[in-house]
């Protein structure tokens, strides 16, 4: 636990100096680099036993891709695995066949995206909350869901670009994310939900229970819907295992509590200072994540898809109000929710086999 918290603190401190202090350009760049390197190094030095998915299929794919001289042959192996991930393994394999190098490069990409997003949103203030979110929500999961974590962070960048009116770049990021994990297709719905900022607050109160009731009554159709999408080649047959998991999976109640907390955060901001368009987006993103988690009893994939709708919230939180003080309070409350979630998972299930941190290279 402590290796993670110490690393997060070092990275956040370096970013804080880069984003808030009047530094010279070169010194600012040094601070930004120092905010990226610690978590990338920590991930690079970890043992292979950390992360259930890496032990399950990651090692096999890595060995095949890095021990072939033909990129075509490498891409043909494991047809259910997205080409972007296999290509990344191949490129890193040209540098070294040591999986620790891949761990380092993988995390270097993810943290760099988080830092770039935060730094480009610094004009709104409290941009460090984006890094807080990444470290407490994403970092440990990325050790496990290696492929999807790349798609998730690219989708976070996708929304950041969309939010900044860079439409074409946003679409390109979404397409790139799909090359690493096909679930990124669900992130396209964030475009639709971003238009919900025009829906009045009174209507939101009515919509919320109606959506949850509708989702509750259609959960039983999920298996049939997913099976049809697989037969239509919308998803690969790799996902047929998720089509019917009744009795073997469950609703992630801790994440539902976290998402409900975020949803109610939109009601805690004083009406006179409330940034209604931003609050509306946060409300609908959180509501969608809650609705998806209600599918937790039939498929574990719902829990992973819900992540895509939490990512934009971290970008929007610093603008939830027109008052700087209210924004600061909102970021503090959001951080509290993240900390509760982080420590609960750390002590209850080891954060997907990432706690305690293990590194033979460091002698831990």
**Interatomic CA distance for residues 204 and 197, integer angstroms:** 10
Tens-digit pLDDT profile for residues 221-265: 666 777 777 777 766 666 666 666 555 566 778 898 999 999 989
Tens-digit pLDDT profile for residues 74-103: 777 777 788 999 889 888 988 888 889 999
pTM above 0.85, yes or no: yes
Tokens 């992973």 — which residue?
Answer: 304
Return the higher-pLDDT residue of 199 and 25.
25
**Interatomic CA distance for residues 106 and 112, integer angstroms:** 10
Helices (H), the chain: 2-20, 25-44, 52-53, 59-66, 71-76, 83-95, 99-120, 128-133, 139-144, 146-163, 167-178, 189-194, 201-218, 222-231, 253-268, 276-293, 301-316, 324-348, 350-353
SS3 state of residue 145 = coil
Distance of CA 237 to the CA centre of its chain: 24
**Interatomic CA distance for residues 21 and 261, integer angstroms:** 32
213 pLDDT more than 80: no
User: To 10 degrees, what angle do helices 324-348 and 253-268 make?
Assistant: 170
**274 forms bridges with which residues in the sheet?**
321
* Whole-number Cα distances in Å, 169 to 163, 209, 307: 11, 35, 21
* Whole-number Cα distances in Å, 251 to 246, 295, 296, 299, 301: 11, 7, 4, 9, 11
* Whole-number Cα distances in Å, 161 to 113, 151, 315: 12, 15, 11
Query: Which tokens hold the place of 124?
Result: 């709104």
**Interatomic CA distance for residues 128 and 117, integer angstroms:** 10
Contact 36, 115 (CB under 8 A): yes
70 pLDDT more than 80: no
Least confident segment among 51-60, 141-150, 164-173, 270-279: 51-60
290 CB contacts (<8 Å, ≥6 apart)?
212, 256, 259, 260, 263
CA-nearest of 155, 212, 215 to 183 is 155
């Amino acid at each position: 636990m402590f290796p993670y918290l110490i690393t997060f603190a070092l990275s956040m401190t370096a970013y804080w100096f880069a984003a808030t202090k009047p530094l010279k350009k070169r010194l600012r760049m040094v601070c930004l680099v120092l905010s990226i390197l610690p978590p990338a190094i920590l991930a690079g030095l970890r043992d292979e036993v950390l992360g259930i998915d890496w032990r399950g299929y990651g090692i096999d794919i890595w060995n095949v891709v890095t021990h072939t001289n033909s990129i075509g042959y490498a891409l043909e192996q494991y047809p259910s695995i997205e080409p972007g991930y296999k290509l990344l393994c191949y490129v890193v394999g040209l540098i070294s066949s040591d999986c620790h190098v891949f761990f380092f490069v993988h995390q270097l990409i993810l943290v760099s995206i988080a830092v770039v997003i935060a730094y480009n949103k610094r004009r709104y203030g409290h941009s460090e909350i984006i890094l807080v979110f990444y470290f407490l929500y994403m970092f440990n999961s990325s050790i496990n869901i290696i492929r999807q974590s790349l798609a998730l962070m690219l989708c976070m960048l996708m929304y950041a670009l969309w939010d900044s009116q860079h439409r074409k770049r946003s679409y390109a990021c979404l397409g790139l994310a799909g090359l690493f994990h096909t679930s990124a297709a669900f992130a396209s719905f964030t475009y639709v939900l971003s238009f919900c900022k025009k829906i009045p607050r009174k209507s939101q109160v009515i919509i919320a229970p109606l959506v949850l009731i509708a989702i509750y009554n259609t959960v039983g159709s999920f298996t049939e819907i997913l099976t049809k999408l697989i037969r239509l080649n919308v998803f690969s047959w790799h996902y047929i295992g998720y089509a019917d998991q009744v009795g073997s999976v469950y609703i992630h109640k801790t994440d539902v509590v976290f998402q409900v907390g975020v949803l109610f955060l939109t009601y805690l901001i004083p009406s006179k200072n409330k940034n209604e368009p931003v609050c509306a987006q946060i409300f609908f993103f959180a509501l969608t994540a809650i609705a998806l988690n209600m599918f937790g009893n039939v498929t574990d994939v719902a829990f992973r898809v819900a992540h895509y709708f939490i990512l934009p919230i971290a970008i929007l939180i610093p603008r939830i109000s027109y008052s700087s003080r209210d924004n600061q309070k909102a970021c503090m409350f959001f951080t509290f929710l993240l900390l509760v979630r982080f420590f609960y998972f750390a002590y209850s299930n080891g954060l997907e086999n990432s706690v305690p941190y293990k590194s033979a290279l460091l002698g831990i």
